[in-house]
């Protein structure tokens, strides 16, 4: 029992002083008085020096410090890598901003650029075609049943006839007479053919207008010899017409404004007339 107690005491002391005890149970005094007898092997070994333990601890601490310094030095490297990453990120962001600025500039340029428009319609390039009046043909006056629309009915046997001098009350001079064709929309007029009756116009004007109030004169016409350019009987073709070409005017209406008579005692009379030209918005217009 005493050996057990002594052993327990030794273990406790060793634990408290953080020492290592080498012993054998057989080293206890056989007499039972609690003494400890070391063996020959144990007595031959030199006792451990306490100074050696302090040096080992200092060496371990120095090693730990060197490891910490190495770790700190190693931690500097990621800092350089992070700086490089930041620089690369900044460069990429700057490049992206430049691209965005370029796109904005391109969009602004596209927005501010003038809108492309088709070149203006070139009416001169269109061939002249026969234009059909629509819806009306009107005149300053008519006599008997020779109405204005009979000057464009494509019948040489019918005609338009204005008032005669005998129809003018109080014997005053007969004022100018006119006839106009309405094409329903502005057209470009290039040619006018008139097949006059013997009661023709010694002088007249070819005019265009868009409202029948303001007229623009394209040319002044004349039937020089009424016997050559007008006929008493109905013609059978256009051989006796006055053909005026090379005109250039735009208007919805074309008017023949008669200002001087070939036969003073009569008025003005047209067997048939034609107007040529084309639409002003496209060659396909006009009839």
209-231 mean pLDDT: 81
CATH number of 124-279: 2.60.120.260
Integer Cα distance of 200 and 204 in angstroms = 10
d(CA 217, CA 121): 24
Picking from 278, 117, 259, the residue whose alpha carbon sits closest to that of residue 188 is 278
- CA–CA separation, 283 and 45 (whole Å): 130
pTM: 0.57
Q: Is 259 left (phi over 0), alpha (psi -120 to 50) or beta?
A: alpha
Closest C-alpha among 229, 181, 182, 173 to residue 201: 229
CA-wise closest residue to 126 among 206, 189, 194, 208: 189
Give the residue extent of every domain in the chain: 124-279
User: DSSP state, 4?
Assistant: H
Burial class, 1, CB count within 10 angstroms (exposed 0-12 / middle 13-18 / buried 19+): exposed
Q: How confident is the model at residue 43 (pLDDT cuts 50, 70, 90)?
A: very low
**What pLDDT sits at residue 31?**
46
Q: Tokens for 132? A: 């059909």
Determine the 3-state secondary structure of 60 from DSSP.
helix
List pLDDT tens digits, range 161-211.
999 988 887 767 888 999 999 999 999 999 999 999 989 999 999 999 999
The per-residue pLDDT for range 115-164, each reduced to its tens digit, is 666 666 666 678 889 998 987 899 999 999 999 999 999 999 999 999 99
**pLDDT, the chain, mean:** 75
């Amino acid at each position: 029992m005493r050996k057990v107690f002594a052993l327990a005491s030794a273990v406790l002391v060793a634990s408290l002083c953080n020492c290592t005890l080498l012993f054998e149970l057989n080293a206890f005094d056989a007499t039972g008085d609690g003494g400890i007898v070391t063996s020959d092997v144990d007595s031959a070994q030199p006792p451990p020096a306490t100074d050696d333990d302090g040096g080992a601890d200092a060496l371990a601490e120095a090693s730990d410090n060197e490891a910490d310094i190495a770790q700190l030095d190693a931690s500097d490297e990621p800092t350089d890598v992070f700086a490089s990453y930041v620089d690369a990120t900044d460069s990429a962001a700057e490049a992206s901003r430049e691209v965005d600025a370029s796109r904005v500039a391109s969009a602004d340029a596209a927005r501010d650029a003038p809108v492309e428009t088709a070149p203006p319609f070139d009416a001169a390039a269109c061939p002249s075609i026969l234009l059909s009046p629509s819806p009306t043909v009107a005149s300053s006056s008519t006599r008997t049943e020779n109405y204005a629309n009979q000057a464009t009915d494509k019948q040489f046997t019918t005609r338009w006839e204005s008032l005669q001098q005998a129809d003018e009350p109080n014997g005053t001079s007969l004022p100018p007479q006119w006839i106009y064709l309405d094409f329903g929309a502005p057209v470009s007029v290039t040619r006018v053919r008139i097949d006059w009756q013997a009661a023709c116009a010694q002088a007249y004007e070819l005019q265009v207008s868009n409202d029948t109030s303001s007229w623009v004169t394209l040319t002044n016409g004349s039937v020089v010899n009424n016997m050559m350019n007008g006929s008493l009987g109905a013609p059978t073709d256009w051989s006796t017409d006055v053909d005026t070409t090379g005109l250039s005017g735009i208007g919805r209406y074309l008017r023949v404004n008669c200002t001087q008579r070939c036969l003073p005692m009569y008025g003005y009379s047209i067997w048939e007339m034609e107007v040529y030209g084309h639409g002003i918005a496209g060659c396909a217009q006009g009839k």
